[in-house]
Structure 1
């Protein structure tokens, strides 16, 4: 199904008091871990946008990253939409096939690479270095998403409540609050799996982009000579 989005006005003034609306139109604080998680995803997407402006990117790699950019929009929509038992309209969610595709790319790009005998330092050529930047942002997004799970859990809302915010502060990792009722919807676990696999893929792609000639290996402190930085 083709989804059409109409943006008629960019500023709305609705966030001037530190509040924002989630995808389900519930209101929450801009400091909500859900909002932080999809904000980190947006930052990762922007970093990929910078990456794609660099010269020398392999066509296959460019196509993969362009697809990932679109999927990160799907991911942001998922993280910003609390789970519910039922919906008036079927929401956009990260599903198992998204994760499986990342794993397939990990295998196809990673299998030909030589084995590693040390950790890799971020750097190398411009493309490889920027892939490391994106990787670290995605890792942060994964951590932030887990913070959202600590607050909201991974189960649909109970008692018809999809509201987010301070009323959910007592939720445990399973999504239940102290009373067991009126719990806001949780976070889709597959969305966090996607972030985990994406960071793995980005690490592999950095090795592909750098090649063995540009790969920078970590030299442990005891092995570094005094004249070596």
Structure 2
């Protein structure tokens, strides 16, 4: 259980922060960038939810919770020491990826295949979902960069990859089932 009775602690005033295992590292470390970007994405999902209803809003709510799980996973290095931890660290699970894939398949079933790339925009919700898509891709790039020097849970990286796909398909759904997608016209303004 998390208890926060004091919001500022002054422990990070010199540019470092504590990870989930208590280790202190620089706030600009790739690990902090990765889970910080997941937090940023969560904020953008919250904005998108202002324009979502029904199942889309419910799915975005699940994604927000998953993004906290993702942050908890990424802020805890040393996966090989998980068994030794006093409390088992929270790690992303393949089931979370599977759920995204199932949701993508349901959303995509009624969409016409794309014949062109699409531009971010259209309906307000679609535009917000495209922002979420690009921030998810940035979080994924940071997580894979981190993975070049430290262990990173493969399910976390896969989740981010699939999540950006989810946002893309959901944006098409928000654009009147793809009918209001804004198509890219190569060289249109030459």
1:213 Cα deviation after fit: 3.7
Distance 2:48 2:166 in 1: 15
1:1-229, aligned counterparts within 5 Å? 4-54=1-51, 57-82=52-77, 83-85=79-81, 86=83, 87-152=85-150, 186-211=151-176, 212-221=178-187, 224=188
1:214 Cα deviation after fit: 2.1
What SS class does the counterpart of residue 11 from structure 1 fall into? coil
Segments of 5+ residues of structure 2 without an aligned counterpart are: none
Distance 1:206 1:111 in 2: 14
Segments of 5+ residues of structure 1 without an aligned counterpart are: 153-185
What SS class does the counterpart of residue 15 from structure 1 fall into? coil
1:189 Cα deviation after fit: 1.2
Q: How big is each residue's C-alpha offset from its partner over 1:32-58, in whole Å with a ceiling of 9 and x where there is no partner?
A: 11100001000100001111122xx23
**Which of structures 1 and 2 has the bigger CA Rg?**
1
What SS class does the counterpart of residue 13 from structure 2 fall into? coil
The number of equivalent residue pairs is 186
What SS class does the counterpart of residue 28 from structure 1 fall into? strand
What SS class does the counterpart of residue 17 from structure 2 fall into? strand
Distance 1:32 1:190 in 2: 21
When the two structures are superposed, what TM-score results if normalisation uses the length of structure 1?
0.79
Distance 1:139 1:108 in 2: 22
Alignment-derived partner of residue 168 in structure 1: none
